Amino acid sequence: MSLPRSREAAFDLPAVMRRGGVTAVNLTISVSDGFHATCDNLSHLLGAIDRQAADGVRVARTARDIIAAKEGGGAAIILGFQNSDPLEGSFEKLDVFHRLGLRILQLTYQRRNLAADGGGEPANAGLSVFGRELVAELNRHRILIDLSHTGVQGTLEAIELSEQPVSITHSCLQRFNPVPRNATDDEVVALAAKGGVFGMNGIARLISPTGRQEGATIGQFVDQIDYLVELVGVDHIGIGLDINEGLTPELFERRRRGFLTEFPELRMGGDFPFEHYYAFGLTTMANVHLITGELLARGYGDDEVLKILGGNFVRLLARVWGS
């Protein structure tokens, strides 16, 4: 799962994870901050995690950490960036972040940066020279490459260049809702062919073309999982709800005026009510059981459900990070 950045999230996140039976989450440390601001965020969150170590909360540096958290009823926090901007073009800074626990890095966030064109750039120019070098460095450090907000050309180039499987951790499908933020079938097929995993996003306006006006249902969410199973098989699908845990109507209005104004293409056509931000029921990780119920109702077997709910991502992380 992917969570928008929040300093406060680390304090109550493990309790919400336990209520939902969730063992591991990808916690976003930075979207567009530079090196120093990201270090500040990271130091604050590492301290918060350390203060809950006695309750089984840990940073996931290897797949073993996730498995141990599952066995002990704990919570594993995966540290991720939704942009390569914190590196400021320096692979030495990447080394520092890796030492501190960074294990997932998105090449871009919607806009053009040093590495590539994001999904919001109409030029769709693909990877830069630095971006190609960054793919190699991420492979060397065994950091999972995330392409959720990268443009189509950059995504396909990164999949081809990477020596390790990569992921689109939190997106939906253009087949169901043809907006640039969503992934094409070609991207998903290429991803799966290299052993990657696609994480299904729970944001209503990504799930459905009428998500802003009417919201979206868990049934529509699982419709895309059904399609993915037919397209690439059950071994390449996961859950990446993109939840901002604890989002209230007041915080939503602040987000609308700030973040969604900075990236207008993510609003995809004007205002929408708070109730239509996420698919109905998927406002918190505590409700992941609703996805489980829908999958079982559609005839998925227990082994298939376990793969979708996390087994596929754990397998991917073990391959990229080392088990």
Residue 4 has pLDDT above 80, yes or no: no
- List, in order, residues 6 or more apart from 147 with CB less than 8 Å away: 106, 107, 154, 155, 158, 159, 166, 167, 168, 187, 191
Concatenate the DSSP letters of all residues of 286-304 into one string.
Answer: GGTHHHHHHHHHTT--HHH
Strand, coil or helix: what is 86? helix
pLDDT for the residue numbered 296? 98
Tell which wins on pLDDT, 322 or 148: 148
Mean pLDDT of 218-245: 97
**With bands split at pLDDT 50, 70 and 90, how would you rate the model's confidence at 41?**
very high
Task: Label residues 110-147 b or e (16+ Cβ within 10 Å = b).
Answer: bbbbbbbbbbbbeeeebbbebbeebbebbbebebbbbb
Each residue of 137-159: pLDDT tens digit?
999 999 999 999 999 999 999 99
Mean pLDDT of 17-40: 95
Residue 288 has pLDDT above 80, yes or no: yes
Provide, rounded to the nearest whole percent, the portion of the chain with pLDDT above 90.
88
Residue 8 has pLDDT above 80, yes or no: no
Average pLDDT score over the chain: 94
Residue 3 has pLDDT above 90, yes or no: no
Mean pLDDT of 100-112: 97
pLDDT for the residue numbered 260? 85
Each residue of 154-207: pLDDT tens digit?
999 999 999 999 999 999 999 999 999 999 999 999 999 999 999 999 999 999
Residue 94 has pLDDT above 90, yes or no: yes
- List, in order, residues 6 or more apart from 117 with CB less than 8 Å away: 108, 123, 124, 125, 126, 150, 151, 153, 154
Mean pLDDT of 311-316: 98
Q: Give the length of the chain.
A: 323
Provide, rounded to the nearest whole percent, the portion of the chain with pLDDT above 70.
97
Mean pLDDT of 221-246: 97
Q: Residue 177 carries which DSSP code?
A: S
pLDDT for the residue numbered 11? 55
pLDDT for the residue numbered 71? 95
pLDDT for the residue numbered 270? 80
pTM of the prediction?
0.95
Phi-psi category of 112—alpha, beta or left, where left has phi over 0 and alpha has psi -120 to 50? beta
Mean pLDDT of 253-263: 87
pLDDT for the residue numbered 1? 41
Each residue of 65-93: pLDDT tens digit?
999 999 999 999 999 999 999 999 999 99
Q: Residue 93 carries which DSSP code?
A: H
